[in-house]
Structure 1
Amino acid sequence: MKRSEVLFRGLKRLFSTERGKWRVVALCVLGATTFWFFNALNKQYATRLNYPIEFLYDEQDVVVVNELPKKVSIVVSGGGWSLLRKTVLVSVNPIQILLENPASQKYITKASLSAIIADQLNEVRLNYVVTDTLFIDIERRISKKVRVHIDSTSISLTDGHRIVTPIQVTPDSVNFTGPTSFIGGLADSIILFVPVNQINSDFSQSIALTNLESRIVEVEPEQVQVGFNVREFSRHSRIVNIRPLNFPLNRPVQLRDTVAKVSYLMNRSEAEKLPSGSFTVVADYAELNRADSTIVLRLGNYPPQVDILRIEPESVKVRYDQPATTRQQNRR
């Protein structure tokens, strides 16, 4: 008979016996297991634990830059019951580490850590500390007032529209609070961008500063109000007399062209109200190009609310007229 058949028949006889006998077998197994378990817990063991730690310090004027360690690896020895309580059955009180000057203390060595842990452990004995060094990254909390500016060049306007008033930011400054290493490196001002495209009317909107905050940096207030007026500009032009400047009185010098065309962009309603003489175009004899007898025209006065496009022509020639007596002598 094969060995497997013998084993199968033995098990069959065991499970086919009366229920009372089966209960006796189960109780015997349970009793033996319990005896072994309790006997094992009465012995001495050594084991490695990840033991919880807690840092005690004045949190009022400091910031934890990087998260502090929460556990330390140690090897302890003690009775089975004590080790069981430390690991499985109940939560343990963490090792408390006092930081008298947290902003200055950057690490705790293994030697210092061993003394702290050995002094607070109970029921088990510290064999040695596995963790080499605990690093601490805590800095003093400071604040700095920073001015807020808007990047006007990045504001998206609909074609033909212009900003016609100064950009108002309320409040014009915000306070940053955080660790010394970050706040100390902040510039005296920050640039914000208007997150709206194709603006074609007066603008007034809050811009959030929450994207400048983090776990360790606070911004107060959390938003600023930005406002400015927008108008639609159209193209206009005017014919303006050219005004000679610094021309010699003792020489018969004349401008060949006496008028110029000034093209500009301006709000249509305001353009209709512009008085004559709002623009002046100047030809300065001191800027004469003697190679070709030309002077580049430049704009003198013009309304501040306009955008100048161009002056036509860009330059004018001068001519030198002979005096009348000279012409008579030449005729003779």
Structure 2
Amino acid sequence: MAQIPLSSQPSRSRIILFSLVAATIIWLFNELNKDGYTLRVQYPINLTYNDSLYIPITPLPKSVSATLTGNGWMLLRKSLSFTVSPVQYPILNPLATQTLNPAALTAIMHEQVKDVRISNVMLDVNRLDFEERMIKTTVLRVDSAGLQLSPRFVVSSFINLRPTTVTFDGPTSLVSDIADTILVRVPAQKIRGNYDEELPIRYPQSPLLKASTDRVFVSFEVAELFGNIPQTPPPPTEEKTTPTPKPKSDGKKSKKK
């Protein structure tokens, strides 16, 4: 019996492996072309609302769990969330909407998702919490009473700020608590030279609150006083004077001659 040369054995192994792979691909293609497959998937969803008037204060659901039934190829494509468009679910009155309606969501999915049948729609997160959106502009001022200057040094110019205001955008419950004026504190101590620094603006921090800026440039000039510093004289004291007593009248009228 003739033996296969050793040099030809690897080539034969590659041919057998290639044949198995080709047969598997052909079988897979035939199976995926069939209908009646069922697949449980996380389908992307996008909640639409008037974001110029309302803002969600809790995370919105990004997907729903649904059972899809249909062609194998179609189910494979639907299972890949990056290849399908999210279902658009409109919220007309966010302040009055606290949950999503599964029946309404199923009907919307039937309208927007084609080529498959949808059933058993379930939400992992079904709690909605919206607030009215609020925009407020606050004035910035330097806490001049808290400036720490070296002895004999004074501020000799206007205190400049850039910018002079900051605008906040967020839920009403957060924005309404922000003061109309925010004091900017200068942390430097024993200042004896012209000041020009970028300082943070202190306000309640929240991922739901957006500010037009969180820092402000503060600058002013400082001068040293020479010679004796005049002291403010004390206010003059009023001298108490004793009123001159009026002569007492004896009650008799003088007679005319």
Q: Same fold (TM over 0.5)?
A: yes
Instruction: For 1:71, give the aligned amino acid.
Output: S
Give secondary structure in 1 for the equivalent of 2:42: strand
1:31 to partner: Cα distance? 4.9
Higher mean Cα deviation, 115-124 or 164-173?
164-173
Which residue pairs with 1:252 in the alignment? none
Structure 1: state its 5+ residue gaps: 1-11, 233-266, 287-332
Query: 1:207–1:223: structure 2 CA closer, same or farther, 3 Å change rule?
Result: same
Once residues 211 and 14 of structure 1 are traced to their aligned partners in structure 2, the CA distance between those partners, rounded to angstroms, is: 83
Q: Which residue of 2 aligns with 1:268?
A: 226
Distance 2:5 2:120 in 1: 52
Does 2:161 correspond to 1:203?
A: no
Q: Partners of 2:50 and 2:189 in 1: how far apart?
A: 48
Identity of aligned residues (%): 28
Q: Which has the higher contact order (CA 8 A, sep 6+)?
A: 2
Q: Does 1:113 align with 2:105?
A: yes
Opposite residue 117 of structure 1, the aligned amino acid is M
Shift of 1:58: 3.3
Bigger shift: residues 133-142 or 12-21: 12-21
Is the Cα contact below 8 Å between 1:110 and 1:132 reproduced in 2? no
Aligned residue among 20, 25, 33 for 1:29: 20
Residue number in structure 1 paired with 2:147: 155
C-alpha distance in 2 between matches for 1:27 and 1:224:
68
Deviation of residue 157 (structure 1)? Answer: 3.3
Q: What's the counterpart of residue 177 of structure 1?
A: 169
Residue 76 of structure 2 is aligned with which of 84, 95, 117?
84
How far is the alpha carbon of 1:27 from its aligned partner?
Answer: 5.9
Task: Identify which range, 187-196 or 177-186, moves more after superposition.
Answer: 187-196
**Aligned-residue CA RMSD (Å):** 4.2
**Residue 101 of structure 1, aligned match among 76, 93, 98:** 93
Aligned partner (choices 180, 183, 188) of residue 188 of structure 1? 180
- Deviation, 1:23, is 7.0
Between Structure 1 and Structure 2, the one with more strand by share is 1
The size of the alignment, in residue pairs, is 236
In the other structure, the counterpart of 2:38 is: 46
Give the aligned residue type for 2:75. Answer: L
- CA positional deviation for 1:197: 4.2
TM-score (norm 1): 0.55
The 1:22–1:146 alpha-carbon spacing in structure 2 relative to 1, beyond 3 Å, is closer
Unaligned runs of 5+ in 2: 241-257
TM-score w.r.t. length of structure 2: 0.67
Structure with greater Cα Rg:
1
Amino acid at match of 1:52: P
CA distance in 2, matches of 1:204, 1:28: 77
Deviation at 1:140, TM superposition (A): 3.0
Distance 1:102 1:285, change over 3 A: same
**Aligned equivalent of 2:52, options 57, 60, 81:** 60
Amino acid at match of 2:109: I
